[in-house]
Structure 1
Amino acid sequence: MIRFAVFAGLVSCVGTSGGARADTPPPRPTMWYWHNWTDHAGISHMTKCPVRDFDLKTMSKPAGPQWQDRLKNDHGQVVFTVQPAHWNGAWHPDPKVQWIIPLRGTWYVTAMDGHKVVMGPGDVSLGEDQLSRKDQQGHIGHDAGNVGDGPVELIVVQTDETPTTDRPCRFR
């Protein structure tokens, strides 16, 4: 079974300060991701969602502890992608339930409800619009493309999760 940990570098913890006791861990962090999900009518939406279920532990001894929120998953695949300058993906659903993290450059995702989100390095998006249906304009899933004149580098973690409807922020 593959389990995904929060990517290093997306969460930073500040050490104790002042009069805080050395054995008192810092408060649990909150990270945010954008969830591109589909409702029962087949319309996709973008919702900002929290990730809060962190445990402070080592990933491999003797490394020091770091905050981790492991999302259960049976199978997955990591894909690095470089979108050429001025790339546009047109309207399409994600091929799988997938986490998308920009490494360099800026890109956007526009849901069928018209909500557009612009993301850059450090932002996280969950693509789960596989169950969307064509609307009257012929749009399905989402429209995505690069912002600016350069390429965009992304890491995509595709999962074998079953797509859902009416479940924004299902991973917390």
Structure 2
Amino acid sequence: MPIRPALLSACLLAALAPCALAAPPPAAPAPGTPDAPQRFYRHLWTDDKGISHISTCPVHDFFLKSMSPPAGPQWQDPMPPQMATIMVTVQPAHWNGAWHPDPKPQWIIPLQGSWYVRAMDGTRVEMGPGDILFGEDQNVRPMRTGPYRGRKGHDAGNIGDGPVTLMVIQSANAPVANQPCRYR
């Protein structure tokens, strides 16, 4: 199923919009406001020994605000502004990423198909459309022992027989080690 330009535009706007917000969130929701949503992302991070891990992290600083009045309010949790490169990648059927670190800290959001990521500690997650991974394993070192001896970074690959389409947002910021779930 091909990606429609309108869907791609909506995804790009959703990815960019948090960076454009500069106003601080209101202190407390108004009476009668529905409860804020709870969402999660996966963080592929590196510890101080150079081993990669995957943590499931909450996104929980939502506030309700219109992004462009008169449009109705929506739940937002903006990140600090940063320089980024946005791209869409299509991994061919049966793509295998082998062991490698991410080239830069990057947000990865599957748009179509499913893929997996396995960290050096053995944690493996499968992700499909709408799931979010923040890959920040640039400070890894090759494992000295164990089943992944000599390998570093993460292993990744497609699940199923079709291609996988990903939106990748690469940050120009330097990677940070030993801080799982640093974006909240």
TM-score by length of 1: 0.86
Contact 1:73 1:160 in 2 (8 A): no
Contact 1:4 1:70 in 2 (8 A): no
The one of 70, 76, 86 equivalent to 1:78 is 86
Q: Deviations over 1:3-35 (max 9, x none)?
A: 9446xxxxxxxxxxxxxxx96211111110110
Task: Look up the match of 1:138.
Answer: 150
Q: Deviations over 1:86-136 (max 9, x none)?
A: 001111111111110001100000000010000001111000000011113
The one of 119, 124, 130 equivalent to 1:111 is 119
Task: Look up the match of 2:108.
Answer: 100
Contact 1:104 1:121 in 2 (8 A): yes
Q: Distance in 1 between matches of 2:105 and 2:17?
A: 16
Q: Give the number of the structure whose residues are more often strand, by fraction.
A: 1
Q: Distance in 1 between matches of 2:68 and 2:168?
A: 24
TM-score by length of 2: 0.80
1:20-169 matches, cutoff 5 A: 24-136=32-144, 137-169=149-181
Q: Distance in 2 between matches of 1:56 and 1:126?
A: 24
Which ranges of structure 1 fall in alignment gaps of 5 or more residues?
A: 7-21
Q: CA deviation at 1:62?
A: 1.4
Q: Deviations over 1:44-89 (max 9, x none)?
A: 0000000001111111121111101111132011110110000011
State how many pairs are aligned.
Answer: 155
Identical-pair percentage = 59
Q: CA RMSD in A?
A: 1.6
Q: Give the number of the structure whose residues are more often helix, by fraction.
A: 2
